[in-house]
Amino acid sequence: MKVKGIELRRIAMPLKAPFRTSFGVEYARDILLLRVETPDGEGWGECVAMSEPRYNCEYVDGAAEVLRRFLIPALPDHVTAATVATALEPFKGHRMAKAALESALLDAQLRAGGESFASYLGAVRDRVPSGVSVGIMDSIPELLDAVEGFVAEGYLRIKLKIAPGWDITPIAAVRERFGDALLLQADANAAYTLADARHLEQLDPFGLLFIEQPLADDDLVQHAHLARRLATPVCLDESIESAAHAAAAISLGACSVVNIKPGRVGGYLEARRIHDLCRAHGIAVWCGGMIETGIGRAANVALAALPGFTLPGDTSASSRYYATDITAPFALDNGHLSVPTGPGTGVEPLPDVLAEVTTSTEWITV
Ligand code: SMG
Ligand code: MG
């Protein structure tokens, strides 16, 4: 595939409500979109980096800079989604920026060939079960109201964001109110240390699906120690940036579940390799979320339709975060999202909405 040029487009998407995690509060989503232009058409990719380097070390301005200065200039004359990672390998890290570029190229390539992301990746389902991630709240009644609303909408699994001071009590309250049948999990975003093991043991009676990323990103060995102490299974998110990390985590016994986010691991092809590896080892995987617009969500839903994705993902409806999505909205149907079937991601930005949320554009000739 020959690439004529790439547009970097920055958009500002207001959130319906603030979203609090152990590392900060989001009020709006500042997103970098990539539009690849080729002689045979275009392709879109969404970068999942956040405004500030709090979830991980990447941030939107940094992603835009590494793309314009190093990654886009390194594209060879002829490139495909399968070869781009090798071309970008000399540049360390910056996986979210690389993933956005690979996704846009894959979208262009698949659109030109008339194939969907789902078909290309090896999806085996035409709809995927949806979970929802619930932020840290000011009070337990407020949390119970929020969870009640999501359960009423049909979400099939609830994830509670936790942090020291907001962990055992909210989990206990949700369990008590909604019963043992509710699929429930917790996400700490690396807020604890191994010294908190005794404290985290108090989660064991609540029958969580797992606790996600309790310890620091680079604490694989400590996660293995913690996993031996807890009855609650351990899931890794931030710690897994590649298939090699997943292999190390599995060998160490650091987790029994993996959250796969294509952006975090450098793209959909690495995401699929992690899926394949975990599946071969009997490690459950599920698709994470980074508050994507419809563009990123469409590709995530396609990935979540692979056979190893045995747990509901953070693949919620557009309406979870946005009053207006930039694509036709993803809506829940009995707790599920439909896997798009059209070429590429199967979705396109709505020009009027896109224009309204755009804060800047930049064209880079390749
Ligand atoms: O897209 O629904 C979503 C977000 C899900 O909780 C979510 N993501 O650590 O898994 C995670 C967080 C990272 C982003 S929080 C601002
Ligand atoms: Mg997480």
Domains of the chain: 5-114+350-365 (3.30.390.10), 119-338 (3.20.20.120)
Distance CA 49, CA 336 (A): 26
| Rounded percentage of the chain residues whose pLDDT exceeds 70 | 100
Contact 81, 299 (CB under 8 A): no
The residues with which 37 forms a beta bridge, in sequence order, are 5, 42
Q: Who's near 152: CB < 8 A, 6+ residues apart?
A: none
| pTM of the predicted structure, to 2 decimals | 0.97
Among 24, 17, 19, residue whose Cα is nearest residue 191: 24
- Residue 23: the pLDDT is 96
Beta strands 234-236 and 211-212 are: parallel
Q: Given this model, what pLDDT does residue 358 score?
A: 98
Q: What is the per-residue pLDDT for 82?
A: 96
Ligand 1 site-directed mutation target among 314, 332, 337, most atoms within 8 Å of CB = 314
Which residues are near ligand 1 (CB < 6 Å)? 19, 21, 26, 55, 133, 187, 189, 237, 288-291, 314, 316
What is the tens place of the pLDDT at every residue in 116-173? 999 999 999 999 999 999 999 999 999 999 999 999 999 999 999 999 999 999 999 9
User: Among 98, 37, 129, 126, which Cα is nearest to 346's?
Assistant: 126
Average pLDDT taken over every residue of the chain = 98
List active site positions.
161, 261
